[in-house]
Amino acid sequence: MKLNGFYDDLKDSYLFHTVAVKTAGYKEKHPDADIIKLGIGDVTRPLPEACVKAMKVACDEQLTVEGFRGYGPYEGFDFLRTAISGYYASRGTKVAAHEIYVSDGAKSDIGNILDLFDRDNTVLVPDPVYPVYVDTNVMCGRRVIYAGANEKNGFLPMPDRAADADLIYICSPNNPTGAAYTREALGEWVRYAAEKGAVILYDAAYEAFITDGSLARSIYEIDGSRACCIEFCSFSKNAGFTGERCGWCVLPDELVIGGKKLADMWLRRQSTRYNGAPYVIQRGAEAALSAEGQTQIAVNLGYYKKNADVIGACLDRLGIYYTGGVNSPYIWMKCPDGLGSWEFFDLLLDKCRVVGTPGEGFGACGKGYFRLTSFNTHEKTAEAADRIGKYFG
């Protein structure tokens, strides 16, 4: 009996744990401190009414023999795949329903897709990065190289043709930096992937936050992408499904490697190691894409955007460099006065009683940067911005 030794290579991330411990320690010393959390990475607004209504109808259907649903299709129900295809079509992007695979979320898919690839591939991830991209590859012993994001490239690294990569992660708008690629820049990445025979794993989880029409909401807006890109998206950050768990990935017909259609391998994988997302949840997701659902989602997205605007305006007034804040729920700011990420964390907590997330927890290139999020209430976000403005102004 041998365990998977690659787990020993995983670095324990103490980022959010350390944030929690430090915050609790401060709270103990200052029990009356009104601490405002701008480190929240989860949505907070209620589910759209259309979704809840559809989910309850689906629940009631399970009470009769006629309405009862057992095992669903591994690839998701046709009603949802068709609705997602329509969601793309509404923006002029062609993705056929049969190319869409529904699941319990983009995080699961992003990890599970790796099962299709040999261990002996090189993986290129941006730095700073959503830690799951790295850890899922370390767990199976794959070599990881980094594309450094920094102020010079606006936290949007471009391909380095000297570096060979087989799997390339792109998240746009990005977590944690909030930076979003232009169509031209994505075109560069697609050309690079095509040249190298690589596959781009495109994380579009935050696409619904894009308001700038010059930015791509899907990688399939880019020429050549259908032959080399898998897109992952989710109902988490748009419809607030972080607790309901529903997402999808797209494996286009043209995505063929060595004569093998990746969609076929994925269906084999999913039918063997997965059993589909709950019917009730898929009905909720379908409702999220209805006209009524989209209107209700727009209200929630508007709520978060207003918060992002308030934080962005504060940093603008202070002359502090940041990315994101538009087209993203995240604001990635440079720590003032040359402070380190954790130094700034301590100062912000002590002087403004505001909690955020030190950038270096997301990778070496995050040193000296800091992430704030727009998921708190209007009132608390405004109060936090006010305190930051007064202290650093």
Q: Which of residues 130-189 bind a copy of itself (CB under 8 A)?
A: 132, 135-136, 139-140, 166-167
Contact of 368 with 41, CB cutoff 8 Å: no
Site for a copy of itself in 13-42 (CB under 8 A): 42
- Tell me if 198 sits within 8 A of 166, measured CB to CB: yes
Is residue 257 a contact point for a copy of itself (CB under 8 A)? yes
Residue 253 touching a copy of itself (CB under 8 A): no
Query: Of the candidates 288, 190, 279, which has an alpha carbon nearest to the alpha carbon of residue 234?
Result: 288
Binding flag, residue 298, a copy of itself (CB under 8 A): no
Computed on alpha carbons and rounded to an integer, the radius of gyration of the chain in Å comes to 21
Beta carbon of residue 269, minimum distance to a copy of itself (angstroms, whole number):
7
Helix (H), strand (E), coil (C) string for 50-96: HHHHHHHHHHHHCCCCCCCCCCCCCCCCHHHHHHHHHHHHCCCCCCC
Of 92, 243, 338, 393, the one binding a copy of itself (CB under 8 A) is 243
List the interface residues with a copy of itself, window 351-390 (CB under 8 A): none
Query: Residues 250, 220: contact at Cβ < 8 Å?
Result: yes
**Within 108-127, which residues bind a copy of itself (CB under 8 A)?**
108, 111-112, 115-118, 120-121
Based on CB atoms, which residue is closest to a copy of itself, 69 or 367?
A: 69
* Cβ nearer to a copy of itself, comparing 43 with 215: 43
Of residues 168, 155, 188, 159, the one with CA closest to residue 124 = 168
Q: How far is the CB of 117 from a copy of itself (least distance, A)?
A: 6
* Cβ-based neighbours of 364, under 8 Å, separated by 6 or more: 127, 146
Among 18, 23, 150, 242, binds a copy of itself (CB under 8 A): 242
From residue 42 to residue 81, the character string flagging contacts with a copy of itself as x (rule: CB under 8 A) and all else as - is xxxxxx-x-xx--xx--xx-xxxx-xxxxxx---------
- Selected binder of a copy of itself within 35, 150, 191, 274 (CB under 8 A): 274
Q: How far is the CB of 43 from a copy of itself (least distance, A)?
A: 6
- Three-state SS for 144? strand
In the sheet with 322-324, reading across from the earlier edge strand, the strands are 322-324, 330-334, 369-373, 357-358
Question: Taking CB under 8 A as the rule, does residue 348 contact a copy of itself?
Answer: no
- Residue with smaller CB distance to a copy of itself, 68 or 321: 68
Helix (H), strand (E) at residue 229: strand 229-234
198 interacts with a copy of itself by CB under 8 A: yes
* Nearer Cβ to a copy of itself (180/297): 297
Interface with a copy of itself (CB under 8 A), residue total 74
What angle is formed at CA 376 by the lines to CA 372 and CA 380, rounded to 5 degrees?
Answer: 100
Rounded to whole angstroms, the maximal C-alpha distance in the chain is 67
Paired with 122 in beta bridges are 143
**Residue matched to tokens 């040359």:** 338
Nearer to a copy of itself, 260 or 351 (CB): 260
Q: Does 240 bind a copy of itself (CB under 8 A)?
A: yes
Among positions 105, 336, 359, 363, the unique one binding a copy of itself when judged by CB under 8 A = 105
Candidate list 147, 171, 185, 199; residue touching a copy of itself; CB under 8 A:
199
CB of 237 to a copy of itself, least distance (A): 10
| Of positions 31, 92, 213, 258, contacts a copy of itself by CB under 8 A | 258
- Quote the least distance from Cβ 102 to a copy of itself, whole Å: 12
Q: 């978060």: which residue's tokens?
A: 304
- Return the residue of 87, 232, 279, 392 that touches a copy of itself, per CB under 8 A: 279
The DSSP symbol for 351 reads I
Residue 298 contacts by C-beta under 8 Å, 6 or more apart in sequence? none
